[in-house]
Amino acid sequence: MDSHKKQKLHQEKDILSSLPDCVLTHILFFLPTKDAVSTCILSSRWRDLWAGLPNIDLDDRLVYFRDMDFVHSYEYVPFMDFVDRILFRHGLSNMTRFRLSCVVCFCPSRISTWISFAIRQNLQELDLHLDLEIPFVLPQCVFSCTSLRVLKIDMECALVVPQMVSLPNLKTLYLVLVEFSDEESANKLFGSCPILEELYLLDCEWRVETVTISTPKLRTLRIDDHYCCGLLHESSDCIIEVQAPNLISFKYNGNLSNEIFLKKSPLLATASIVVYIEPAERIFDMSPRVAELINGLQNVEILMMSNDAIQSLLLAEKFFAWHPVFQKLTYMEVFMENDNDCLEAMLELLRILPHLEVLALPMNGYHNVQAIGPPTPYLFERRRWLR
């Protein structure tokens, strides 16, 4: 190969290094932290680049991708030391997002140290997925971080809320599998987020009698009650009262093990109520709860309901006796089975929907539907329903 071809080949191979730092940093921004760190073997220049990345994404499953049946041992050390080195190299630079997933490794003291370090770097998004073997208390600084905009906590453990809670800039809150064992703490948490816009409560355990979600700026609320840990048929009987004057979208998916009341939500326009009740004999006992939940949806324009929700309404006689008419509802999607009880309930429901324009009946069952919207296969009637 002549010298000209060798020089051209060398230039083509080294084209990445010729890019400016800002472009390389932008490329690294989209890589998982583990992959971004591996670029340090290229040169000292790359080592300095990844150390200043604003997003840190750490997942121990990428290190221990095998059977996870061992207890704390020396095998935890590599990942924990790796995290220590990552945060040490990051230094005091601002951090936009810190995601930590610990499914295999769990050392409470070191995890608390990592979280506290990230919070001190003007953190905007904290995403925690912790598979716990022992009780764990989040550092108090998590609940007093003024820069935090997004908080995601996924851990099957009691959520211990400190006396002082202040999250003035938090806009999105995800709570997954956490246990609420203190009524005062739960109300304090929801009441200390003055500009919260999105709230997701996914399969949480409510060991309290009453919880009030009072958030003036809340626009999106989703509650899942699947009780995947063996409590599917039990009822925790917590009363969850929602006071959100700016709420626009509400989704519920579960077996109504708790009573949910939507109050003071005049702007609510879109709702999804997917209720499944097992065994079928419990549908009579649960029907008042379904009616209470539906009662807070009288201003919605788009509504999706499951088969069990429709049948429960038929059993809740008070609902049809004096329930206000849904004056704004124009689109309704119902996932129903072909049986007389459900059809009878559907006909009764249509009496209080004077302005309904579209009734969609998907063919594939409600378990496969992820969001409200025009379904792919459906039957519909488009007309003004008569009372």
**pLDDT number for residue 234:** 52
Judge whether 350 lies within some domain: yes
> What are the structure tokens assigned to 255, written together?
């077996």
Q: Which domain holds residue 44?
A: 17-51
CA dist., res. 68 & res. 61, Å (int): 9
Judge whether 74 lies within some domain: no
pLDDT in tens, 258-287: 999 998 899 999 999 999 887 766 778 888
Judge whether 266 lies within some domain: no
Judge whether 111 lies within some domain: no
Does this model's pTM top 0.75? My answer is yes
Task: Find the mean pLDDT for residues 288-307.
Answer: 90
**pLDDT number for residue 39:** 53
Task: Find the mean pLDDT for residues 64-92.
Answer: 62
Q: Pick from 31, 51, 71: which residue ends a domain?
A: 51
Q: Mean pLDDT score of the chain, rounded to an integer?
A: 78
**pLDDT number for residue 231:** 43
Judge whether 268 lies within some domain: no
**pLDDT number for residue 24:** 58
pLDDT in tens, 32-45: 555 555 554 455 55
**pLDDT number for residue 131:** 87
71 vs 172, higher pLDDT: 172
> What are the structure tokens assigned to 112, written together?
């608390």
Q: Are 91 and 121 in contact (CB under 8 A)?
A: no
Judge whether 153 lies within some domain: no
Task: Find the mean pLDDT for residues 193-198.
Answer: 97
CA dist., res. 166 & res. 114, Å (int): 21
Number of domains comprising the chain:
2
pLDDT in tens, 9-68: 445 555 666 655 555 555 555 555 555 555 544 555 555 555 567 788 888 776 654 444
Judge whether 23 lies within some domain: yes
142 Cβ contact list (under 8 Å, min separation 6): 115, 119, 126, 148, 151
Q: Sorting pLDDT into bands at 50, 70 and 90, what band is 371?
A: very low
Judge whether 194 lies within some domain: no
